[in-house]
Structure 1
């Protein structure tokens, strides 16, 4: 059977089913996560069918979408033969300002409120995110089924230690693979308690005798790892199976350092409060692959035109019903700059380049070119111990180096004396005064500039060689960069 015929039969089958049970959804999504022509067809068909349900539900039950039904109602003739992305490309793009102004109007009236969380506010005014009783129950059953085959592989349930993320309000109560234990690293008592919890033995019915899974915000995990080393505890000697990091971008140096120190697989999870899921970094390609129940698009940052195939642009996500029910988000622009690469089956993979506002992008090109990626700059500075970093843990006294693995302090600016010329200034705050060590400072400037220009397929290098761009690296001592630090890279 050809993928096209397979898709047509699937669409007919799904259209006849009014109910989309979480257990069946988990089985289908597990298949769609695999790579192959039929799996790719399943992936595309699930997206299209669930998008149709998402649009119908939003128009029927959300005042925001029903007031704009002319945009969101998709006729059968209009959607026949069209892909999910083709249908989405004709719809408006939602931005953070829309969520702030129309937050209550977006809420669906056919479900009951269960919980409220919020964005952290690190990139703008915090936005409330609402979840219903019905969708939380759906997600709980969905993930329980998704994890079931993995759980069957354990003779004893593994123990899991997590450092909960308290920056987003109420946590969605989802099932976990391991028996959950929790602690933190944000004060002396917590971080010492976390080390005790991690290193002790347990006698819990049906569970393993020691912790094998660790998860938390990326900079918390790096900080905790450094603390263990300072106290003479070898992380690798604890024999963990996986360490999961989430939250803000972590420089490549520190991701690789975690893998070495723990001697296990490190899962880099890209999570978003606004989404009902997220993306995992592929350990081989280094690119992110989104959960199959999320639709990810890439658009031109200024025109909003969809970027098809391989290309750079702003990330736009759509939450699908019934994974999201109370607060439908259709074509929400996350403010993230990404580079999209399609694999041989047409499925997208994404390189995170940074927050759009933190990057320098040549938007005049038909396909936008990223001149300076804040993520790439973070990678460069994160590998240089001279770079000063954000002190996330000022109240902790039991750790010798509180800045290990933290976000580098830097600023990026540009000026264009003419339409064709761009002069770029990279300001970097050091842990020491560059005037005291001029030779070292000069070498650092040269290193940072050369690494900036050596990014694969660098549009900046081509512009510099053509004489239409220049780069100046400016170094300063502690406190030289004023204003709030860049928390979200």
Structure 2
């Protein structure tokens, strides 16, 4: 009999809760005695406390299920804060290796959204890894794609953040012109938002499919791929997700609603330091209906909770994803300058993310947007940006326009 994706999750959740009760000092007193099966596992999970990164770190030693024997250390990539050490067991690494689907295509990883997991979980066999630390590395990556490796194999999958892939694409266009002839089949974009305009450009320029991935470097087993059928992300069967009201985590949001993500990574993918109802600090939007392919609703990443606003009495969320969708493809909006590669020149400017931030202060909720020109000098062009933003965002808020280089503390996307 075929087991659905949801049924696989519930079986794994029951196994995880049973093991935690036996081996974790923190959860031993929180999970009642008795058999745990797929039917009662969700109710038991819901009774457990959720932990954000600070809360998880505070009880970290009590969470651990075994000694340090055979433990390997990795580090997160620090995109949402200071890089953090994480540990893994051989059972975790074996489970990840066994669950990895190898399609035989050569990959080039630009060392972004999973580099900590690659080091800590011994998964370097996935392909070539080129860190884009300077223009010399850009040329190395470009040559691998254009000319292939010494064994004659060609790169078919390019994986990295949106910023990295856009940077490398512009670099290669300057060197080679047409990119479609290099045979790249898939661009795998992780962590950062890819605007509709840039998604269309990359697909056209490379002649490749676009896969977007949402995930965490310390929880590689929870990476969620955007489905080509329903256009929402789905977590793999190695974890369980809940979407709750940010102000009341005991209340689940309805289908089509927006809320805080809670992630539970299942045994044995996280064995030594379990993350149960882990709240990474991200807002997501549930799909309005189940996916025809997977039989369960997916979700859409919306951005970090700290960067989003709840507007009005109904608390409608205006999020990073909303602002990117509206602002990123407007030529009037400034983008973040190059800061990662000291020897990069102006040709990489257009790869930057739109400069904006959401603010709720004494003047009320507003989105502040930096333009490429002084709005006082070009008032009609500035007004067009403000009108579009007000009409397109999901809640009414002020639009405050700034001239070049005058907006501080922009939202990171």
Using the size of structure 2 for normalisation, the TM-score is: 0.88
Structure 1: runs of 5 or more not aligned: 1-5, 7-37, 152-157, 418-422, 453-457, 461-469
Asked whether the equivalents of residues 44 and 83 of structure 1 are also in contact (C-alpha less than 8 Å), the reply is no
2:39 corresponds to: 82
Asked whether the equivalents of residues 51 and 277 of structure 2 are also in contact (C-alpha less than 8 Å), the reply is yes
Structure index of larger Rg: 1
2:17 corresponds to: 55
Structure 2: runs of 5 or more not aligned: none
1:486 equivalenced with 2:407 (yes/no): no
Choose which of 156, 159, 162 in structure 1 pairs with 2:109. 162
1:100 equivalenced with 2:57 (yes/no): yes
Q: Distance in 2 between matches of 1:80 and 1:57?
A: 12
2:231 corresponds to: 286
Q: Distance in 2 between matches of 1:353 and 1:400?
A: 30
Report SS of the residue matched to 1:75.
coil
1:354 corresponds to: 303
Report SS of the residue matched to 1:361.
strand
Asked whether the equivalents of residues 216 and 222 of structure 2 are also in contact (C-alpha less than 8 Å), the reply is yes
Q: Distance in 2 between matches of 1:264 and 1:442?
A: 37
Q: Give the 5 Å matches for 1:324-363.
A: 324-341=270-287, 342-343=289-290, 347-361=296-310
Q: Give the 5 Å matches for 1:245-256.
A: 245-256=189-200
Q: Distance in 2 between matches of 1:447 and 1:296?
A: 34
1:131 equivalenced with 2:88 (yes/no): yes
Aligned-CA RMSD value: 2.7
2:71 corresponds to: 114
Shift of 1:107: 2.4
1:296 equivalenced with 2:241 (yes/no): yes
Report SS of the residue matched to 2:60.
coil
Q: Give the 5 Å matches for 1:23-422.
A: 38-40=2-4, 43-66=5-28, 69=29, 71-73=30-32, 75-76=34-35, 79=36, 82=39, 84-109=41-66, 112-124=69-81, 126-143=83-100, 146-147=101-102, 150-151=103-104, 158-165=105-112, 169=116, 170-174=119-123, 180-202=127-149, 204=151, 209-275=153-219, 276-304=221-249, 305-341=251-287, 342-343=289-290, 347-361=296-310, 365=314, 369-370=316-317, 372-393=318-339, 395-397=341-343, 399-415=345-361
Q: Distance in 2 between matches of 1:362 and 1:435?
A: 28
Shift of 1:350: 0.2
Q: Deviations over 1:51-100 (max 9, x none)?
A: 2221232233333333xx2x234633xx5673543332222111111123
Q: Distance in 1 between matches of 2:37 and 2:11?
A: 11
Shift of 1:283: 2.3
Using the size of structure 1 for normalisation, the TM-score is: 0.75
